[in-house]
Amino acid sequence: MPDPDLPGTPDRASPQARAGQNYFVAGPDEVEALGVDRLDEASPPTSMWRDAWRGLRRNPMFLVSALLILFVLVVVAVPGLFTGQDPRMCLGQNSMRGPGAGHPFGFDLQGCDIFARTVYGARASVLTGVGATAIFLLIGGTVGALAGFYGGRLDAVVSRITDVFFGIPLILAAIVMMQLFRNRSIWTVMLILALFAWPHVARIARGSVISVRGNDFVLAATALGVSRFRILLRHVLPNAVGPVIVVTTIWLGVFIVTEATLSYLGIGLPPSVVSWGGDISTGQSRLRSGSGIIFYPAAALAVTVLGFIMLGDALRDALDPKARKR
Amino acid sequence: MIPVFIGATLLIYAMVFLIPGDPIQALAGDKPLSPAVADQLRERYHLDRPFIVQYLLYLKGIFTLDFGTSFSGQPVRDVLARAFPVTIRLAFMAIVIEAAFGIFFGVIAGLRKGKAFDATLLVLSLFIIAVPVFVIGFLAQFFLGVRWGIAPVTVGADASFSRLLVPAIVLGLVSFAYVLRLTRTSVAENKDADHVRTATAKGLSRRRVVVVHILRNSLIPVVTFLGADLGALMAGAIVTEGIFNINGVGGTIYQAVIRGEAPTVVSFVTVLVVVFLVANLLVDLLYAALDPRIRYA
């Protein structure tokens, strides 16, 4: 039965359904000769991305997560918009003072404005997350795509290496490594996180490229004499990038959580950097007298991570054809 | 499996001893190091030998259960003998909790995919995943322990099952969310399979269809996850045991990290990685029991 929503089906030009008729009954000459091969030029072109966007637009989870992330990004870009206070302006006389005018969350033990620290802390967390994700994607995506596309010995070697990295949980590797660096910076954290997590994206990219590699359009491009590398770049990658985007989004959230955990243990970002993990770590000793000290940075951390994980989830629903129809 | 084991241990070893600079100084951290202690450490880690010999000696140490000495001079093996049972108990409780609740709710959500109950559970699971373990730990400790006094604030020396209950729930909570989501997806995929329809058509009870025909097929990804999760639990145990002051392996690592005792951290983390690898091997064997198509010759 022709789908009336599908562009290019002939029944659009000659509607057969009559008024009062409950079911569509196809006429004997519904599709004329060669009609199935004809394309309605006026119909909008469709692609994986257009389909995904159509699904995403209606997904409340996508809208909520997109708004959340947008908000966090604004906070990261212009924290001055939200607070006039300096997060490093800490006066002993303000120690543990409750909320007051201009200081909605009050002060921590050192007399720093908790609201300002929560706002400015977004920068360290998000920058570490985004930086680590960029390196992670660069190494893992490249290695995985090349291994999947060229196969053979390269693939065998890459697969063994990823197996080895999978044998070591990220947080354990990060704890050992961070322990050994005395001059830690935001860069050290980013590099270490990316260095021990890239096999996760490499494995996904490899699988995705392998599943696209066997398609007829790749064969067609090969027959036309397009070079191997160009085929990978122009024909395979654009079609294989969906699952990679999904894991990347989720890992962005994971990196932020891991950075906070490391900072909480005191081996993540240096204390000079205003960060949520660090603030939670210093606030824990005062848990009984002022739970706000850890509550606000913890809530900000949770909301940010929630945004990225929800986005990844929504993207998975939109980009994974297996999940879509169910 | 064995190549992975060798690769993973080599990787840990290399990352500690091949990084630029003097590894002995790095192990000491900010603390000043007397030449005598430095020499002792150098000998202990065989740094005067070629790298590959160092690594083989280290591997031999693992197989003979000789993991070196902690910073305070105690043999790691002795500390492990005391701490490991506690961590095993905690991790075991966490796995049982997350598997039982995760699979139970996952099956219900999967069978009712798209309904309100399913949607609520999904959003709830995302919340659980997004909140870091140490935050959940603090909240549990603060409200259950300090505010309401219905659970011990810290566990301390007496690590009985009842005292470990709250830490085990905290530890298993994130994985509970993953188990739930995995089971749900898997059940939703399997519930419309032909063999399930056949089973229903044969007149089997709903319970039998769900438990035997849907669940067994849906459990394969869940079991994979639970195996890999043992590693995550070990890592999570570092934070959880630290917060609740449990004298397990995680608590020991936590204290060592806080005090900057790198050799202790390295020895104990190595042990955890070995445990993780063995757990994954066991999971591979468990597959065959669940999926008759997989056979190991």
* pLDDT tens-digit map of B15-70: 776 655 566 666 666 566 677 777 777 676 666 677 777 777 777 777 777 766 66
**What pLDDT is recorded for position B29?**
60
Chain A residue numbers with beta carbons less than 8 Å from the beta carbon of B235 are 169-172, 175
Task: Determine what percent of chain B falls in helix, strand and coil, rounding each to the nearest 5.
Answer: 75, 0, 20
**Minimal-distance CA residue of chain B relative to A253:** B130
If one compares A8 and A188, the residue with the highest pLDDT of the two is A188
Confidence of residue B297 (pLDDT cuts 50, 70, 90): very low
Chain A residue numbers with beta carbons less than 8 Å from the beta carbon of B17 are none
Please report the sign of the dihedral spanned by the C-alpha atoms of residue B241, residue A251, residue B109, residue B200: negative
Identity of residue B121 = L
Chain A residue numbers with beta carbons less than 8 Å from the beta carbon of B231 are 169, 172
CB atoms within 10 A of CB A289: 10
pLDDT digits (tens, 9 = 90+) for B210-242: 888 888 888 888 887 887 787 778 778 888 888
**Minimal-distance CA residue of chain A relative to B14:** A177
| CB contact at 8 A, A268 and A255 | no
- Distance in Å, alpha carbon of B224 to nearest chain A alpha carbon: 13
First to last CA, chain A: 21
Contact partners, residue B209, CB within 8 Å, separation at least 6? B196, B199, B200
| CB contact at 8 A, B73 and B62 | no
Percent of chain B having pLDDT more than 70?
Answer: 83
Cβ distance B130 to A302 less than 8 Å, yes or no, reads: yes
pLDDT at B257 over 70: yes
**Minimal-distance CA residue of chain A relative to B266:** A176
The mean pLDDT value for A310-324 works out to 75
B276 close to A (CB below 8 A): yes
B93 close to A (CB below 8 A): no
- Distance in Å, alpha carbon of A307 to nearest chain B alpha carbon: 8
Q: Across the A/B interface, how many CB contacts are shorter than 8 Å? A: 138
B14 close to A (CB below 8 A): no
Cβ distance B257 to A306 less than 8 Å, yes or no, reads: no
**What pLDDT is recorded for position A60?**
84
Query: Which alpha helices (DSSP H) does chain A contain, by range?
Result: 48-57, 60-77, 114-150, 152-166, 170-180, 186-213, 216-223, 228-230, 237-265, 276-283, 292-319, 321-324
CB atoms within 10 A of CB B125: 24
Q: A-contacting residues of B 29-88, CB under 8 Å?
A: 29-30
Cα–Cα dist A231/A143, whole Å: 17
Cβ distance B127 to A306 less than 8 Å, yes or no, reads: yes
Of B126, B135, B138, the CB nearest to A313: B126
**What pLDDT is recorded for position B144?**
80
**What pLDDT is recorded for position A325?**
44
**What pLDDT is recorded for position A296?**
84
